[in-house]
Chain A
Amino acid sequence: EAGVAQSPRYKIIEKRQSVAFWCNPISGHATLYWYQQILGQGPKLLIQFQNNGVVDDSQLPKDRFSAERLKGVDSTLKIQPAKLEDSAVYLCASSLGSGAAYEQYFGPGTRLTVT
């Protein structure tokens, strides 16, 4: 089965610019997650969707970050405007359900560099 797809794989922007990342989860997976992984740290959950509804966005910096999952399949994560501290790898993951019994499958990530 195809894995979680993410694009672009790499992105370099200047601070105050905007950027968007795209994720296509595994077919049939109802739950989708966006994580931020800063160099030297473990991934941190930004937002969790169940179908097209938000389950948890408590750690999403809502003044500059937004995410949507229209139609409950693909998702986009946007940063506007970007700051230097947003430099990180942005990981998308999906699972069949939201319980601990459901394995999360991760995409390869998008590496963002903000200069």
Chain B
Amino acid sequence: AQSVTQLDSHVSVSEGTPVLLRCNYSSSYSPSLFWYVQHPNKGLQLLLKYTSAATLVKGINGFEAEFKKSETSFHLTKPSAHMSDAAEYFCVVTPVSGSARQLTFGSGTQLTVLP
């Protein structure tokens, strides 16, 4: 069994300040972890993924996330928020092995960027 908990449903930051979106996971197997972004009326887009290689993962648009097994966390960060970062972000877990690797999505964090 696997699950994801996104600790904040809404996060608001000022433009130019750091972003932190928190995610904790639970998995019976070694997990692969992802962050997806969803802009209004657009499809989900992959930001970054962790698949048991380097624990610090860099993604698109300056985002990165660190896999911490001891804390079962995979928090998403960005040093400086931009207005275009305003969107909904989903943390996702799936087992590394298995034939039907169902993605389990968190409930999402809505990021607001204030001017």
Contact = CB atoms under 8 A, between A and B. Distances in A.
Q: Are these two chains actual partners, yes or no?
A: yes
Name the prevailing secondary structure of the A interface residues. Answer: loop
B107 A100 contact: no
Contact of A100 (B41, B45, B96, B108): B96
A40 B9 CA distance: 9
A109 B102 CA distance: 19
A24 interface: no
Interface centre among B4, B90, B100, B107 (most CB of A within 10 A): B100
A99 B45 CA distance: 18
Contacts of A48: 100, 102
A55 B103 CA distance: 13
A41 B109 CA distance: 10
A14 interface: no
B5 to A, nearest CB: 11
Interface string A7-47: 00000000000000000000000000000000011111100
B44 A45 contact: no
B43 A42 contact: no
A24 B49 CA distance: 25
Contacts of A56: 100, 102
Contacts of A100: 32, 49, 51, 94-96, 101
A90 interface: no
Interface in B16-47: 32, 41-46
Contacts of A99: 101
Interface of A: 3-4, 40-45, 48, 55-56, 91, 93, 98-101, 103-109
16 contacts: A4-B43, A40-B107, A40-B108, A41-B107, A42-B92, A42-B105, A42-B106, A43-B103, A44-B105, A98-B101, A99-B101, A100-B32, A101-B51, A103-B46, A105-B43, A108-B43
Given A91-B44, A105-B43, 8 more contacts: A42-B4, A42-B92, A42-B108, A43-B103, A44-B105, A93-B44, A100-B32, A103-B46
